[in-house]
Amino acid sequence: AALNAAEKPNIIYIMSDDMGYSDIGCYGSEIDTPNLNSLAEGGIRFTQFYNTGRCCPTRASLLTGLYPHQAGIGHMMNDRGYDGYRGELNRQCVTIPEVLGTAGYRNYMSGKWHVTKAVKPMTDADKHNWPLQRGFDRFYGTIHGAGSFFDPNTLTRDNTFISPFADPEYGPDQMANGEYYYTDAIADHAVRFIREHHFESGEQPFFLYVSFTAAHWPMHALEKDIKKYKGKYDEGYDSIRNGRYERMVDLGLIDRSNTSNWPLDENWKETQNWEWDKRNMEVYAAMVDNMDQGIGRIIQSLKDTGQFENTLICFFQDNGGCAENYGRGGQGKQRSSKPDRQPLSAEYLQPDMTPKQTRDGYTVRTGKGVMAGPADTAIGYGRAWATVSNTPFREYKHYTHEGGIATPLIAHWPNRIKEGGKLEETPSHLIDLMATAVDVASATYPEQYHDEQPIKPMEGTSLAPLFQNRPVKREALYWEHEGNAAMRWGKWKLVREYEKPWELFNISKDRTEMQNLAASHSEKKNEMIQMWTAWAKKNGVAFPKRFNMYQFLNQKKKTEQKQKK
């Protein structure tokens, strides 16, 4: 039976950015995440939940319940010449807020959007894929995908760009820590939406999408949070990783019989610059810690307004740990004793993903030896720490091995989930979160939308039965990103890196993808290749022979060089 408005749950989907499977406490980390841990204790932790391995495709899948190629975002925010890779949400899909809006929900978003090319729109028409134009009633966040935590680019309230230093609605008095820090700002605005909804629209249920940029590079954190982790990583990469592995076994997330840590290559470790790289992880941990603090404020706002019991909260991540070499090349310069550039005005709209300077006039620095944390630094934490983040799995963001696509999922809903602390092994995917929202909200997913255009049917399966120990049925799950591809069919996983042979793994016996069974189980491999190929053709996947990001970028670079000449 359809629920009336008072019975319908609020729904909050919280996503973090560029974090590995083991980066929060209840999934094995040494990082302090008491608020996420408490949600896990009162809810369900999924052990085989998946994203798409990269930021934009994940956001497209989450918002639409489709595979990213079906929504038009098989890669990033560039048009690659194929319908599955246009870099814009298409009009053959609907978003969660577009659907829930028809079921009486108010819809709010705080954080990173990153599903449109229109980061510098010239007209309002260019904003057709901005949050308010895709179903949200209110929005605070960034349209672009990455940037400074102290001075983010494309910062937007509703449909208008704003400067964090000239924002009459969010000044030091409203900031959790008295200074602008984007992770705090995302959480503070989520809290604001919850509280204002209660007093202004309390008779309606709400959907809130909280899209943190923590812990994506650059490694920026508040000094109070960094201090907490000083010395925490002195023991080195292997010791920290082994500690995580043992805690994961103790928690029941993995089993010693079918996992072992994917080898951490000695060449990935910083030896000459160990003090510097240790600092990078200290800052990374501080970023995760601060995000958890913000999640704590969100939880408290629900409790303060009497909405906690009937709110479904899901926490998950957009891809695995990031091994990109951002800001890590060469030796960096030390900070100058005084500003070396002209200060910027408070109203100035900072245009760059990596700012050239801070507001007070210091040049932004990269390179080894530049101690991460402050606004005048732009550093990533590198491949060795990404391997720690992805304990015990193989590969990283970009790839479709487990290290790229495995994510925590915590589901918490006191009114429906009674068996707190349960572990759920059913393989599931971001595409399921649209179906789950439609299910619990008693909404109707449309066959037509956007001026009566046909809408592609949902690909996912509602996870709500699992909340009450009932099974869900699905055939298989599929992936493709940059020619890296995979398929999960029951216990079997077919996977390959671009231009490398297909591998086959029995995940029930080998979750860490160590024993390639492609030769000994060739019939199973070939059957799955046929299934993957049929899925790819049906869903607009451009085959690697015709499409490869690296070829595209190299051609673009050559073209730009010719134009300069």
Task: Read off the pLDDT of residues 429-464 as tens digits, 9 standing for 90 and up.
Answer: 999 999 999 999 999 999 999 999 999 999 999 999
Long-range contacts of 489-492 (CB under 8 A, 24+ apart): 489/528, 489/531, 492/524, 492/528
Mean pLDDT, the chain, rounded, equals 94
Distance of CA 420 to the CA centre of its chain: 25
Can you list the positions of beta strands (E) in 128-194? 138-142, 155-157, 160-161
- pLDDT > 90? residue 553: no
Q: Do residues 216 and 321 touch, judged by C-beta distance below 8 A? A: no
Bridge partners, residue 453, by sequence: 449
DSSP codes joined into one string, 406-471 = EEEEEEE-TTT--STTEEE-S-EETTHHHHHHHHHTT----SEETTTEE-PPP-----HHHHTT--
Residue 395, C-beta contacts closer than 8 angstroms, at least 6 positions apart: 262, 320, 401, 402, 403, 404, 497
- pLDDT > 70? residue 552: no
* Three-state SS annotation for 469-508: CCCCCCCCEEEEECCEEEEEECCEEEEECCCCCCEEEECC
Neighbouring CB atoms inside 10 A of 124's CB total 10
Exposed, middle or buried by CB within 10 Å (0-12, 13-18, 19+), for 297?
Answer: middle
Task: Read off the pLDDT of residues 293-322 as tens digits, 9 standing for 90 and up.
Answer: 999 999 999 999 999 999 999 999 999 999
Task: Read off the pLDDT of residues 225-258 as tens digits, 9 standing for 90 and up.
Answer: 999 999 999 999 999 999 999 999 999 999 999 9
Task: Read off the pLDDT of residues 517-535 as tens digits, 9 standing for 90 and up.
Answer: 999 999 999 999 999 999 9
Residue at token pair 């990533």: 380
In three-state secondary structure terms, 330 is: coil
Distance of CA 274 to the CA centre of its chain: 28
DSSP codes joined into one string, 280-315 = HHHHHHHHHHHHHHHHHHHHHHHHHTT-STTEEEEE
Strand 484-489 relative to strand 492-496, pairing: antiparallel
Separation CA 256–CA 87 (nearest Å): 41
Residue at token pair 């029930």: 508
**Nearest CA to 60 among 430, 312, 452?**
430
pLDDT value at residue 555: 53
Q: Which run of H or E residues covers position 50?
A: strand 44-50
Angle CA(498)–CA(499)–CA(503) in degrees, nearest 5? 80
Separation CA 48–CA 406 (nearest Å): 7
Q: Report the pLDDT averaged over residues 69-73.
A: 96
Per-residue tokens: 110: 């705080």
Residue at token pair 């929005």: 139
Taking the chain, what is the end-to-end CA distance rounded to the nearest angstrom?
A: 68
Q: What percent of the chain is predicted at pLDDT more than 90?
A: 88
DSSP codes joined into one string, 56-113 = HHHHHHHHHSS-HHHHTBSSSSS--SSTTBSSS--TT---HHHHHHTTT-EEEEEEE-
- pLDDT > 90? residue 177: no
**Nearest CA to 48 among 493, 532, 540, 353?**
493
Residue 478, C-beta contacts closer than 8 angstroms, at least 6 positions apart: 67, 486, 487, 488, 532, 535, 536, 539
Q: Report the pLDDT averaged over residues 147-162.
A: 96
- pLDDT > 90? residue 499: no
pLDDT value at residue 81: 85
Q: What percent of the chain is predicted at pLDDT more than 70?
A: 95
- The secondary structure of the chain in percent helix, strand, coil, rounded to multiples of 5, reads 30, 15, 55
